[in-house]
Structure 1
Amino acid sequence: MDPSLLDLILVEGFKHEPVNKNALHCSATGQGWRTLIDRHVIAIASDVRLDRALPQLNINQRPADIARFD
């Protein structure tokens, strides 16, 4: 697979790596979202609006709407 032909590559397991990333938060887990945020998080995807000055994506949107985030 040629990554240059892809719009989005999703990977898992890089929480502590110094790369740009989106954080995913689901309020139903009962876990706080603040521990997800580091200086490399460029957006938060969540089912609730969070008090944070980062772009926020609604996980209840259509996947195509979320994929358009840049």
Structure 2
Amino acid sequence: MKVFGFAGWSGSGKTTLIEQLLPQLVAYGLRVSLIKHTHHDFDLDQPGKDSWRHRQAGASEVLLSGGQRWALLHELREFPPPTLQELVSKLSPCDLVLVEGFKLEPIPKLEIHRVSLGKPLLHPNDPNIVAVATDSRITISLPLFDLNQAETIAAFIYSQVQP
């Protein structure tokens, strides 16, 4: 499975861009999965529901299954968070894994940059950034894309990950 990441400061538009890219990449015939890193505590379960109660009682994993989807909830408890490689190995086989976050991982990445955020570019300090998408005019030595041109960005990503 090929892995391609997105890096950028909070509020730069990573999630919005990925949402626009997914249908474009799928149209190329790729089966695409996504791993999103979050610094926030989150829970897909609802307090009081059976599966929540089972996790609270000590279950290491609870698998929820329904007619439209399934989800595996894994409690880390005293264990460290898994690495990106460990998370990728848990996915079903696909052609491409998009990664949002994990900005220090040594994977090819597109930097999403908005000058209006007042934050510096990441790419001068990250050799794994292979291109930049922005909503402003900047001068860099990497391929540069208009943040609002998802079709062009998708074509670039496809060229980077095709077999």
TM-score, normalised relative to structure 2 = 0.36
| TM-superposed deviation, 1:23 | 0.6
Q: How many residues align?
A: 64
Matches within 5 A, 1:29-68: 29-33=117-121, 36-37=122-123, 38-61=126-149, 63-68=150-155
Q: C-alpha distance in 1, partners of 2:98/2:145?
A: 15
Higher RCO structure (Cα 8 Å, ≥6 apart): 2
Q: After the TM superposition, which parts of structure 1 deviate over 6 Å for at least 4 consecutive aligned residues?
A: none
SS of 1:68's equivalent?
helix
| TM-superposed deviation, 1:55 | 0.2
Percent of aligned positions that are identical: 39
Encode CA deviations 1:31-59: one digit per residue, 9 max, x unaligned.
121xx111111000111132210001100
Unaligned runs of 5+ in 1: none
User: What letter matches 1:3 in structure 2?
Assistant: C
- 1:21 maps to 109
User: What letter matches 1:64 in structure 2?
Assistant: E
User: What letter matches 2:152 in structure 1?
Assistant: D
Higher strand share: 2
| TM-superposed deviation, 1:60 | 2.1
Contact (CA 8 Å) 1:49, 1:56: kept in 2 or not?
no
